[in-house]
Structure 1
Amino acid sequence: MKLYNKEKYNDLGLDTKAPSSGYRALNKDGTFNVHKENVSFFEGMNIFHSLVSMSWLQFLLVLALGYFTINLVFASLYLLIGTEHLTGIYGTTKLDQFIEAFFFSAQTITTLGYGQIAPLNLAANIVAASESLLGLLLFALATGLMYGRFSKPVASIKYSSIAVIAPYKEINGFMFRVVNPKKNQLLEVEVNVNLSLKRANSDLRDFYSLELERSKVVFFPTMWTIVHPVSSESPIYGFNQQNLIEKEAEFIVVIKAFDESFSQSVYSRSSYKANEIKWGAKFTYLAKRDDTGLSIDVGRIDDTFEIDLNQ
């Protein structure tokens, strides 16, 4: 097995010491496998990031829950002041009065105001005025968050769930595929692939920047198979699948592109562990040409077929 003699990186910012066997530095979804301890709630809190990063379903549920909770609080305040200080309350039981106060709160916080119920004394007017002001601020905040979510540039690049070791020219190559499934156009797409290998008889690991067949494309309308030629200059030259597993190999991928829709640079990350690499397999060609142009079956991005490796 030939040792890689080019200069290696001691660290990518991911720490050279692997905490445990099978450790993965970068998750498949691009998040870092790092957990911070002894951080207070307020130190680690980033409400804006959480609200713009969570799924749309979670975000809408948070808005609905917040809206419902605020109306519950103000309905309770109106009930505490006394429903006799609100004109138009006709409920005879506490539950009926609470329900009417709840919907009055909903009308007040949205500044809708049907006019059926209105405050009569100073305390009720103060609560209603405060709720109206709070409603204006919260709806402005919710609108800003909605805009932030829509305008947040995201590189929605889809990666093949597996990588392959396949014949490449007279040698073999490490390959994986990426595609942009969205309709937005990505330009000047650059990819950087780094390899993490555990040192022999040590819990330390080294990082290598891998040379690629092509590290940049100007346009990205189709699939792109990214290839690292496993030449004599490669850090995995002479390796087999078991060697990669023993070395706890992790291929860390970072893609940078210019998103034409947002006129901003966007980034995408993913990684491949040794057990996510198929040896002696090649990706199936998925492009089809017809009278309308070129079509790509994105759903078959993982399709492969067996092939003999070059010796």
Structure 2
Amino acid sequence: MSIKESSSKYSQKNFNDFGLGEKATAGNYRVLNKNGSFNIKKDNVGVLERINFFHVLVSMSWLQFLLIILGTYFCINLLFASLYMLVGIEHLTGIYGTTFLEQFTEAFFFSAQTITTLGYGQVAPIGILTNILAATESMMGLLGFALATGMVYGRFSKPAAKLKYSKFAVIAPYQDINGFMFRVVNPHGNQLLELEASVSLSILRENSELRSFFPLDLERSKVAFLPATWTLVHPITRESPFYQIKPEAFFKRDAEIIIVIKAFDESFSQSVYSRSSYKFNEIKWGEKFTYLISQKDGRVSVDVSGIDNTEPAKLNGEI
């Protein structure tokens, strides 16, 4: 039985094509990366339209951010040290170096003191041109550090639901039928409330490069809290697009399961979102997740490191 024939219930629903459309998603590739980012590249975008410094600086890793801040700080000091040397090192008092390298080094550190408005007092500018340079650098320092402080605050205050998903999804026994399942856990100390999950199947149509999108009904699409783990289950009933579909068909049709989870983060008092996906080769058929919860010292213990652990399980009849 084909997916189309086994999902008349789903064909009457509004498909969530994630703003891409059935033609745009034609072909074999991943729509949504595991980390939640879309696998999309925008070409022929104007330079001015592409520039978004705030988004780039807030979204990049901390290591990249710190390297950019330090690199910018170093380059600005190199620039102004060169300008002081160009104007004339004799216009800076307290310079004791005799070689070019020694004088440039002292000018560099004078620039660092000026841009941070620290000013130890050993070196001071003399003459109108040198004072203009020092005043300009001081103003740049005030504005630059204000912007950097805002970026740091923006990074710390940016809400994000950093959920951990199981590496694989499974097709496992569920009651007297089978179900498509995956697990999520919140490994961080913040509390997430009122979680709501939306799961969809993206799959190529038979004998076509176009895609169809099927929303998947879940055993439980909402939970009030997530203090432990949450196993999301899509029951494979007769109305399910998974019904009587073999693994080979999923491989051939380049199936992808797309997940969106919405939650309320107590720490930020804001709604946060998490996205991920499973491709056909990330689904284990005939396996089930192992149990992660135990009791230790009068408390419930969750082994987060075992979120990916599965074991063989005999399926109930045909899928």
Alignment of 1:21-40 (within 5 A): 21-40=27-46
Q: Which residue of structure 1 lines up, in the alignment, with residue 8 of structure 2? A: 5
- Runs of 4+ residues over 3 Å off in structure 1: 18-21
> Matched residue pairs, number?
311
Alignment of 1:103 with 2:109, yes or no, is yes
Q: Which residue of structure 1 lines up, in the alignment, with residue 194 of structure 2? A: 188
Distance in structure 2 (CA, Å) of the matches to 1:76 and 1:118 = 16
Alignment of 1:117 with 2:123, yes or no, is yes
Q: Which residue of structure 1 lines up, in the alignment, with residue 274 of structure 2? A: 268
Cα-Cα RMSD:
1.1
Q: Is the 8 A contact 1:14 1:25 kept in 2?
A: no
Moved more, 105-114 or 289-298: 289-298
Query: Aligned to 1:68, which of 63, 74, 85?
Result: 74
Alignment of 1:156-167 (within 5 A): 156-167=162-173
> Secondary structure in 1 aligned to 2:101?
helix
- Superposed CA offset, 1:54-95 (max 9, x none): 111111000000000000000001001100000011111111
Q: Which residue of structure 2 lines up, in the alignment, with residue 149 of structure 1? A: 155
Q: Which residue of structure 2 lines up, in the alignment, with residue 304 of structure 1? A: 310
Distance in structure 2 (CA, Å) of the matches to 1:172 and 1:54 = 41
Distance in structure 2 (CA, Å) of the matches to 1:4 and 1:303 = 31
Q: Is the 8 A contact 1:165 1:172 kept in 2?
A: yes
TM norm structure 1:
0.98
TM norm structure 2:
0.95
Alignment of 1:252-267 (within 5 A): 252-267=258-273
Q: Which residue of structure 2 lines up, in the alignment, with residue 174 of structure 1? A: 180
Query: Aligned to 2:87, which of 78, 81, 91?
Result: 81
Measured after TM superposition, the shift of residue 14 of structure 1 is 2.2
The one-letter code matched in structure 2 to 1:123 is: L
The one-letter code matched in structure 2 to 1:279 is: W
Distance in structure 2 (CA, Å) of the matches to 1:120 and 1:300 = 67
Q: Unpaired segments of 5 or more residues in structure 2?
A: none
Distance in structure 1 (CA, Å) of the matches to 2:24 and 2:58 = 32
- Superposed CA offset, 1:152-191 (max 9, x none): 0010100001000000001000000000000000000000
Measured after TM superposition, the shift of residue 40 of structure 1 is 2.1
CA 1:10–1:151: 2 relative to 1, 3 Å: closer
- Superposed CA offset, 1:203-258 (max 9, x none): 11110110000000001100000000000010110011111111111110000000
